[in-house]
Amino acid sequence: MHSATGFLQHTPIAQQLLQRTPSWEWQAILAKGGPWLSQPLFKQAIEALEPAVSKIETPLAFSSGDYNQGNFLFEGERLTGIIDISSPCFEDPHISMAMYWIYCWDPYDQAGIVECYLERQHLTFADFAPRLALRCLRTLQENLPVRGGEDVRDEWDFETLADYRQRVLGLLKRAMDAMYP
């Protein structure tokens, strides 16, 4: 998908697509507000992320807005199609990889997809951490209750919302620890 960036940037459609920089993502989380903003780890991450995301200068790349293995169709090892281009935009090319850890796509979440990607892109976990933190914040804010959910399962029936929340909070803490050891 990222390889289409150069072509798309020179077409009229480019003017209609959001330019989602990491700073834009951070500001959107702040603007949305809600009960998560008063939670200690969430609040700490919001405050710590501003200087980190303002330093990211990676050129934006075209994205479908929904990177997950179910949206990439293969015949053998050859990519044959991409479906569910629900939120096309230009965004940081590495940020969507965080969703492979955030969503519980058992057993694919344990396949090392993110680790391989980071290695191929020559990114350290510390480089990736602000992006992971942004996606954790967005996921918590948009998809998970601050409390409860022990008896409600996620849409894929992998885990309860309470377990999902704890897992995402754990990823957020891991990202913050990598940024500020």
Is residue 29 pLDDT above 90, yes or no? Answer: yes
- What pLDDT, in 10s, does the model give residues 71-84? 667 788 887 777 67
pLDDT of res. 59? 93
Could you tell me which of 143, 154, 158 has the C-alpha nearest to residue 108?
A: 158
Torsion region of 85: left, alpha or beta (phi above 0 gives left; psi -120 to 50 gives alpha): beta
Is residue 165 pLDDT above 80, yes or no? Answer: yes
pTM given for the model:
0.88
Could you tell me which of 95, 96, 86, 88 has the C-alpha nearest to residue 22?
A: 95
Most confident stretch, 5-14, 16-25, 96-105, 110-119: 16-25
What is the chain's mean pLDDT, rounded?
A: 88
